[in-house]
Amino acid sequence: MAKKTIMLVCSAGMSTSLLVTKMQKAAEEKGLETDIFAVSASDADNSLEEKNVDVLLLGPQVRFMKAQFEQKLAPKGIPLDVINMADYGMMNGEKVLEQAEKLIGDK
């Protein structure tokens, strides 16, 4: 299976960095090759230009930006969703990784 790039977006990129660590650990345990990283909403466009992203997950605090990201991502065919608030609050890396995997599907 090819390496999957998962981008998380939150308001400042801070709270999500802990979730990234937990997702990386979950991916390692599953034997998945991933590049998981978090950026602030203001840096998201730059990261989308620089990296070949397979899926984008929005932190619950920036869910209001979903429509504008959908417009940006649709031409690129990049799936997008908002991280489940309970999983985000619990920093459940395994669940959020599963959410990303489902969105990527067989891409």
Which CATH number belongs to the domain containing residue 87 in this structure?
3.40.50.2300
Share of the chain above pLDDT 70, in %: 96
Read off φ and ψ for residue 88, nearest 5 degrees: -65, -45
Residues with active-site annotation: 10
Band of residue 13 on the pLDDT scale cut at 50, 70, 90: low
User: Could you report how far apart the first and last alpha carbons of the chain are, in Å?
Assistant: 11
pTM for this one?
Answer: 0.93
pLDDT of residue 107 exceeding 60, the answer is: no
Domain holding 13, by residue range, is: 4-104
Q: Based on the structure, what is the number of domains in the chain?
A: 1
Q: Using 50, 70 and 90 to split pLDDT, how confident is the model at 1?
A: low
User: pLDDT tens digits for 57-72?
Assistant: 999 999 999 999 999 9
